[in-house]
Structure 1
Amino acid sequence: MRVVDGVDLAVDEGEITALLGGNGAGKTTVLRTVVGLQRQLGGEVHLFGEATRAPLHQRARAGLGYIADNRSLIPALSVRDNLRLAKVDLDEVVAVVPALAGLLDRRAGLLSGGEQQLLSVGRALARRPRLLVVDEFSQGLSPLAAEAVTALLRAAAEAGTGVLLVEQVLRRALALSDRFLVLRQGGVALDGRSADHRDHPEEIERLTTAAVNGVRHP
């Protein structure tokens, strides 16, 4: 079944692009297609200038980082062992996320939601990806934890990483991103520069809360 149709987007180096929209709008489908977890029915995905249909692990080797909404951690393993399993340098991760230094021997399942997301982001950034794709980065986080993750994503962009993310908190998404796309019923309803809508997000709010097939989405 075709879920997304006519979505055209590009993420440049050092740029953060936010995908916005209500539940069922197609945001996660777009991300899964970009990273190679979902095979597209048509159209093309270009990664670093080359069209690709490679699976996720090959795209990761080419410079793609992906943080799923479930954070993809193994709860029974320590933070240290989660990082070892990912084959990333511990010192590199701690340099990116100093807050993890005192948590290396704690089981990942015992971390707070914010600590788990810091671990996921630090693990991804330690690979120095050229493109980082993040699904629902602040879901379930306290405002303080969300701010810490936001700072990491902005620092990554300032260092040259392109970031494509899904974020349900509209004002946070607009404050963090450089550009945005609003998806509605699988298509692009609005796109533009985030700075132009930060003080007046009403049009985006209307589109992201609009009724879809008779159901009003939060």
Structure 2
Amino acid sequence: MAATQILFLAFLAMTSSLATASDPSPLQDFCVADDNSEVLVNGFVCKNPAMVSAEDFFFSGLRMPGDTSNPLSSKVTQANVAQIPGLNTLGISMARIDYAPGGLNPPHTHPRATEILFVIHGSLYVGFVTSNPNNTLFSKVLNAGDVFVFPEGLIHFQFNNGPSNAIAIAGLSSQNPGVITIANAVFGSKPPISDEVLAKAFQVSKETVEKLQAQFWPDNN
């Protein structure tokens, strides 16, 4: 009986730690992602350390302003494991976000990461919404030098409410945080979600849903 209880408690401890974990901790100095491997794992297979170079840990893409000439007037330049193979297993990534006046990084979530946003230039109105049942909005106007945190998995947004361009840098607690843009996912899915389902969910007519599904949903990533 005592042995059974010990095993049960060990199982609870193990599952609790798994439930609260984000990206796994590394077990070696580095595990540079091998994009050419045909092996599928949760993450990326390690490149042979003898083949690793400084370039695997380098990315110059954040030095250039993003192209904001799109319907959202914003551009996200990501710096995650897809751009920096050396981030594999390290549990961290970055992004640069450029906003023209009136530019919006629309409501979205990062399913695998908490985000901390640092405003370099300009002014941003930002916020996130808590989960059911309260759906409380926490929002703030940020200026250059300000920082704001978006908890993992929660819907959040940034809007340039100032007269000039704005720039922000985001730090994310995953090598591959993922992004789900709400409007794109709901109304731009392929194949589309049933208009009957969406009409009932949003309490609108099927005609309204069909109009939303028919329009182009821009992507600023």
Same fold? TM cut 0.5 = no
Greater RCO (Cα-Cα under 8 Å, separation 6 or more): 1
Pair member with larger Rg: 2
More strand by share: 2
Normalised by the length of structure 2, the TM-score is 0.25
